[in-house]
Structure 1
Amino acid sequence: MTLPDHTNPTSLAYPDIEAAAARIAGQVRPVTVTQRGNDGIVFALEFMQHTGTFKARGAQNFIQAHLAEGTFPEAGVTIASGGNAGLACAWAARAAGVPATVFLPTTAPSVKVERLRSYGARVELVGSEFAEAAAACQEFVESSGALASHAYDHPLIAAGAGTLMTEILEQVPDLDTVVVSVGGGGLFAGVATAATHHGVRTVAVEPENCRALSAAIEAGEPVDVTVDSVAADSLGARRATSLALEAARSDLVTSVLVSDDAIIEARQRLWDEHRLAVEHAAATALAGVSGGGRGKTASDGKSPGGYVPAEKEKVCVVLCGANTSLSDL
């Protein structure tokens, strides 16, 4: 077995997702899909995944692929993360008996830092943004020889995330639309690649002030954006990946922006109406669907509530993570 060719950063195809599904079988929890009510919307409860987010899928795919190749250095694996990808990497590394060093910004929620340490990872807190933690991680790679993973910008990571979509379709084969929140674009790239393959629409939802994918679509290439949102701890990437931009070029992809107020309200409604305690990143997806939050839609269609499902349209909203503190609900 050999690893796929990742010299082309825009290379992600459906066979990569099929290979990932075979590689991580039995290593992750199959997603639970449940009806929200009588409105045709279902929830994919991916926050019930190991480590509390979808990130476990990509981490397992990355770790298992390199284990099979015997390519782990003595220094183990390292990653820069807002928290969730680091948790998944540390969890998968511990299961494989591989050392893990995780770099996070100092703004990372304490609940994530504590869980990282519980997985036996070495934790380094650097800077106030993900980009600063990423720079420190790269320096560590160069000095130690550790294998560099990534929170979202790697085909193995994105392909692992895409296995979520194949599981959703097994339960809802006549699905019309899947809705996902977007940070750097790993989850989106994997899900949209799988969804497009099956003729399913993908709605990509971002906070108005963490709009890396939307900005990349407008510019025609990944560009740096400002990061300022209540969901920035998970969605605060400065730029989207080339993998995500390539996936977004499908006619089946729609981009939506939502306000922080809509995100907060959607998160609160998930708790009040369904007793689902999720992080702001997960609520961002719901806020992007008309009726998910109560924000008004602007004429450009990119403001809160920007995607309006058609009558009888079957929509799946991915609730991607729940590494949050109940104290702020």
Structure 2
Amino acid sequence: MTTVPRTRLDLTRIEAARRVIDPVFLDTPLYPCDPLGQALGCRVSVKLETANPVRSFKGRGTEVVVSGLSGPAAVCASAGNLGQALAWSARGRGVAVTVVASRSAPAVKLERIRALGARLELVDGDFDEARERAVAIAGHDGIRLVEDSLDLETCEGAATIGLELLDTPFDAVLIALGGGAMATGIGHVLKSRAPGVEVVCVQPAGAPAMTRSWHERRVVTTESTSTIADGVAGRRPIREVLDDLLVVADDAVLVREESIVAGMRLLLEHAGLVVEPSAALGVAAVLENRARFAGRHVAVVVCGGNVDLPAYHRWLGNGLP
């Protein structure tokens, strides 16, 4: 008999989340990518979370958040993708959204937040400064603070990806690790329904706080981050999220910046996918440990495609027009 992992998440609520999430975010493509697998030395299936209106998996969680809102307004801190998703989910439901982001966030993400009708407030510093400002706005205005990964709706919305992975027998699933919503969500489902699948979380070496926390089994913060993978560049893990991650993750690994860029290039060359750096973390993990995954069937969750094109061209250095 399968043992359900003891986390904050609930499989019944995760299954119910599918009924409130707009179908445009559900049943995203999942397919074997033989050319990518040949390049990596293992069987690779791609779970494509960029084929939706906000080009990331975040819409799954914001749909659950907004469907349960009792007030007319909400605020969140965002590296870019959550803000877009919250704005998209709110705009047809009469909810006013404020997004707080760093001035250094990719311009393309900031532009899309504005285009979706959210009020955008920029702060100096990084995501954690943006989070502090969002908390202050929520307290002052008396509105809902949406905290990615801490709010169960964001985790259980992301967990619906896990439901869609269950029909294919994988040896391992590689998941980008930032705040932890996607990793804890998918991990909870897999450990509930397919406990033999290895759940491997991947984070940049330049933003290692959650991975260090997982290994030390306590919250470890860092003073700064240095990575092109802006979507996962947090410094202060959330205790409750770490507790869940400790239950459902089999491993958490760090990868180098050059491996992230190489992963982006492989996804372009062998899968025809233009992805943001966070979405290439799983491929980077295989590149750095080919022997571990050799001959195995791995699923790579391609979690975001909101890429700054000038930066993308610089990173890949291949003369794209």
Match of 2:59 among 27, 32, 56: 56
- Tell me, which stretches of 5 or more residues in structure 2 are unaligned? 1-6, 314-321
Scaled by the length of structure 2, what TM-score is found? 0.87
Partner of 1:299: none
In the aligned structure 2, how far is the partner of 1:106 from the partner of 1:305? 35
Does residue 1:133 correspond to 2:116, yes or no? no
Match of 2:172 among 164, 173, 177: 177
Match of 2:228 among 228, 231, 247: 231
Partner of 1:317: 300
After TM superposition, give the deviation of residue 11 of structure 1 in Å: 1.5
Alignment of 1:149-228 (within 5 A): 149-170=146-167, 172=168, 174-197=169-192, 198-199=194-195, 200-228=197-225
Contact 1:213 1:244 in 2 (8 A): no
Per-residue deviation, residues 56-107 of structure 1 (Å, max 9, x unmatched): 00000111122xxxx11x4x01100111111111110112121100000111
After TM superposition, give the deviation of residue 305 of structure 1 in Å: 2.8
In the aligned structure 1, how far is the partner of 2:230 from the partner of 2:222? 15
In the aligned structure 1, how far is the partner of 2:118 from the partner of 2:50? 21
In the aligned structure 1, how far is the partner of 2:15 from the partner of 2:149? 18
Contact 1:256 1:307 in 2 (8 A): no
Q: Is the alpha carbon distance of 1:252 and 1:321 closer, same or farther for their aligned partners in structure 2, counting shifts above 3 Å? A: closer
One-letter amino acid of the structure 2 residue matched with residue 305 of structure 1: N
Alignment of 1:1-329 (within 5 A): 11-24=8-21, 26=23, 28-37=25-34, 39-66=42-69, 71-72=70-71, 74=72, 76-170=73-167, 172=168, 174-197=169-192, 198-199=194-195, 200-250=197-247, 253-289=250-286, 293=287, 304-305=288-289, 308-309=292-293, 311=295, 313-327=296-310, 328-329=312-313
Q: Secondary structure at the match of 2:201?
A: strand
Aligned length: 299
Contact 2:207 2:227 in 1 (8 A): no
Q: Secondary structure at the match of 1:49?
A: coil
In the aligned structure 1, how far is the partner of 2:227 from the partner of 2:215? 24
After TM superposition, give the deviation of residue 248 of structure 1 in Å: 3.1
After TM superposition, give the deviation of residue 231 of structure 1 in Å: 3.3
Scaled by the length of structure 1, what TM-score is found? 0.85
Percentage of identical aligned residues: 29
Contact 1:258 1:305 in 2 (8 A): no
One-letter amino acid of the structure 2 residue matched with residue 109 of structure 1: P
Contact 2:177 2:183 in 1 (8 A): yes
Give runs of ≥4 in structure 1 deviating > 6 Å: none
After TM superposition, give the deviation of residue 13 of structure 1 in Å: 2.8
After TM superposition, give the deviation of residue 163 of structure 1 in Å: 0.4
In the aligned structure 2, how far is the partner of 1:317 from the partner of 1:224? 27
After TM superposition, give the deviation of residue 216 of structure 1 in Å: 1.2
Q: Secondary structure at the match of 1:11?
A: coil
Between the two structures, name the one with larger relative contact order (CA 8 Å, sep ≥ 6): 2
Q: Aligned-residue CA RMSD in angstroms?
A: 2.0
Q: Is the alpha carbon distance of 1:281 and 1:321 closer, same or farther for their aligned partners in structure 2, counting shifts above 3 Å? A: same
One-letter amino acid of the structure 2 residue matched with residue 185 of structure 1: G
After TM superposition, give the deviation of residue 251 of structure 1 in Å: 7.2
Per-residue deviation, residues 122-146 of structure 1 (Å, max 9, x unmatched): 0000122011111111111111111
After TM superposition, give the deviation of residue 14 of structure 1 in Å: 2.3
